[in-house]
Structure 1
Amino acid sequence: MLACTLAALVAVPVRAPGIVRPPMTVVLGVLLGASFSADLIGQMAAWVSTLLGLTLFLLVSGAACVVYFRTIGGNDLPTAYFAGMPGGLMEMVLLGQARGGDARRIALVHAIRIPLTVVSLPFLIPALGGGDIGTGRGAGGPINAASLDSVLWLVATGVVVAALGRLLKLPAPILLGPMIASGFVHMIGWTHSSPPREIVWIAQLVLGTTLGCRFVGTTPREMLRMVVLSLGAFAILIVSAVGFAIALAALTPLDVVSIAPAYSPGGLVETSVIALALQIEAAFVATHHIVRVILIMAAAEPIFRLVGRLRRK
């Protein structure tokens, strides 16, 4: 990720073809589903409080970021609003552009927010007392030890259910569809297989490369200006996430190390991969980021219309 970002900024002709990310996202979806188990069902009751807390977290941190981009960043309201919402990059760009916001600024803010999270979490989580760095507890064994039936299961689950996810119009369908299917068959005990670790490494490599290549065409001066501005919003989000994690850890059986990445301002795929690598409960983290994406997609536009009406009164 860092190498491709640097290459993009100095005009090295790097490019991540769009065809490479979807199959690797399917692999990661299956891998995340493998982190669900029958034992996990009994723990899910404790997730209700953190999911409710997530709604309050999004309202508080989102409002603070919007004010920051409006006052400190000097952006117009549509740009500040959709840049400040911790939602998906494409969704926020499209909604912001439709409301008259600066699509490029919104895209850069979100594109910078995710790498900042990817870089910071591996340092933040150990500082909070967790994070045993490894290949990820959900990853399978070496590829030469994988059985034929596990490979066929991986292919069938990934391809078929990713297509079904698109038909059902799920958010992030090529990740969420395979994750739901994989989680289901793991929880009922039909399989205990996971993608071989070498495939997981390749998926991480592709993910990092495509993240870095998002900055192709961005000048170093523009990038520096947006990074400086985005750092302030990132600080608001990450401090809020840790603050909520500390408060909820005192009120629930869950710990700060699990809650902080679940509330962190990264993307669903990226944060889930980090949770796997740091040996954190990936199912818990992924579930919270799915709910975050759904809440933002459902509420961002109505709240923006409400804000507009209040300003006109």
Structure 2
Amino acid sequence: MPPLARIAAGLALGSLGGLAFYALSLPLPWMLGALFVTMVASVAGWPVLGPARLRPAIVAVIGVLLGSRFTSDVVQQAGEAVITLSILLVYLAAVAALVVPYYRLVGRQDWTTAYFAGMPGGLSEMVELGEARGADVSAVVLAHSLRIVLTIGVMAVLFRLVLGYDVGGAGSAAGAKAMPGLADAALMAVCAILGAALGLRLRLPAPSFLGPLILSAGVHMAGITESAPPGLLVNLAQVVLGTILGCRFRGISPTLVLRAGLLSLGATILTLCLALAAALAMRAVTGVGLDQGILALAPGGLTEMGLIALAIHADVAFVALHHVVRILVIIVVAPILSRRLGPGK
């Protein structure tokens, strides 16, 4: 099949998966449904592809959406953020100290591969840095991809089934506001396009996401607009994002996925236990809600954790800030510490 037909097949399967999860009232249905179905199809060897080139546009839409949840109250929380960010730094050190040796000793990887597989940074950043240091790139990709997938699933189920939140409504939460008028729609389009361009120019991590988020946050905090992207557009964005994530497993054998999945499950459980401890510390010191603290620390993707925060009406700004700082700290620290390791594969 030509690439366009395989992309169409992937999106069709992703849409069916999202629709099925929505019909079953499962958590975060449009993204998780698309992700699950396309991941199974990819591992099974079906001719599906994710529209990877659309990812910058998709995450820009989600960035504008999450930026619309920033208010003037964010500035007033600066003092509290200093304390919670300090707890975040201790948490990151604890994750590195436990999860990197876990991959080395349990996963039997060389130290360089274990280091970049276990560090709680972004997928693309850890793959790029790991490849430059001679790590086993496929192992790093699997570790971080599965970590993100497992964390999204655990967080969605935790908040829906255990804590009773409605995690099915990230899209409808955005649609709760009135449909944007032409002026507001144009302003949000500018935030998406100009923000992505500025993110690339400034070399921000996840530039197509952070740039639009920052611009959208600025215009909303300034009171220029209160609009957000419509729910239908956000749901479509989630289907595409889930399809892209699921199709990352194309060409990987079921046996390898199972082995890497079990290894990643152990690492994710370790990390989530540390996240829970750090979130409890945040609540004890600053009074931050436990649900909000867990989302700010959970080892999922910045975009995905932001969507869950939006769905349960948590403080998106708080969650986004801590994930941005996490990524930036790891990007700066990881290359420095990696020089002390021996050569990878």
TM-score w.r.t. structure 2 length? 0.85
Which residue matches 1:94?
128
CA contact (8 A) 2:111 2:341 kept: no
Which residue matches 2:244?
210
- Kindly state the Cα deviation for residue 306 of structure 1 after the two structures are TM-superposed: 3.7
Partner of 1:37, secondary structure, is: coil
Residue pairs, 1:35-184, within 5 angstroms: 35-126=69-160, 129=163, 131-136=165-170, 139-141=174-176, 145-184=179-218
Q: Equivalents in 2 of 1:267, 1:193: separation in Å?
A: 25
Among candidates 334, 339, 343, match of residue 300 of structure 1: 334
Which residue matches 1:271?
305
CA contact (8 A) 1:268 1:286 kept: yes
Q: Equivalents in 2 of 1:255, 1:127: separation in Å?
A: 18
CA contact (8 A) 1:142 1:197 kept: no
Partner of 2:228, secondary structure, is: coil
CA contact (8 A) 1:275 1:285 kept: yes
CA contact (8 A) 2:96 2:120 kept: yes
- Kindly state the Cα deviation for residue 282 of structure 1 after the two structures are TM-superposed: 1.1
Partner of 2:194, secondary structure, is: helix
Q: Equivalents in 2 of 1:106, 1:280: separation in Å?
A: 31
The count of aligned residue pairs is 308
Q: Say whether 1:252 aligns with 2:286.
A: yes
Partner of 2:339, secondary structure, is: helix
* Moved segments of 4+, more than 6 Å: none
**One-letter amino acid matched to 2:66:** L
Deviates more, 1:133-142 or 1:165-174: 133-142
CA contact (8 A) 1:108 1:226 kept: yes
Q: Equivalents in 1 of 2:125, 2:207: separation in Å?
A: 14
- Kindly state the Cα deviation for residue 95 of structure 1 after the two structures are TM-superposed: 1.5
Percent identity for Structure 1 against Structure 2: 42
- Kindly state the Cα deviation for residue 63 of structure 1 after the two structures are TM-superposed: 1.5
Q: Equivalents in 2 of 1:156, 1:94: separation in Å?
A: 30
Partner of 1:193, secondary structure, is: coil
Q: Say whether 1:284 aligns with 2:318.
A: yes
Q: Equivalents in 2 of 1:186, 1:229: separation in Å?
A: 42
Q: Say whether 1:30 aligns with 2:64.
A: yes
Among candidates 38, 63, 75, match of residue 4 of structure 1: 38
Indicate how the Cα distance of structure 1 residues 179 and 130 shifts in structure 2: closer, same or farther if over 3 A, else same.
farther
Q: Equivalents in 2 of 1:5, 1:64: separation in Å?
A: 29
CA contact (8 A) 1:122 1:278 kept: no
**One-letter amino acid matched to 1:302:** I
CA contact (8 A) 1:132 1:279 kept: no
Q: Equivalents in 2 of 1:161, 1:66: separation in Å?
A: 35
- Kindly state the Cα deviation for residue 308 of structure 1 after the two structures are TM-superposed: 5.4
- Kindly state the Cα deviation for residue 50 of structure 1 after the two structures are TM-superposed: 1.0
- Kindly state the Cα deviation for residue 138 of structure 1 after the two structures are TM-superposed: 6.0
Indicate how the Cα distance of structure 1 residues 23 and 49 shifts in structure 2: closer, same or farther if over 3 A, else same.
same
**One-letter amino acid matched to 2:174:** A
- Kindly state the Cα deviation for residue 44 of structure 1 after the two structures are TM-superposed: 3.2
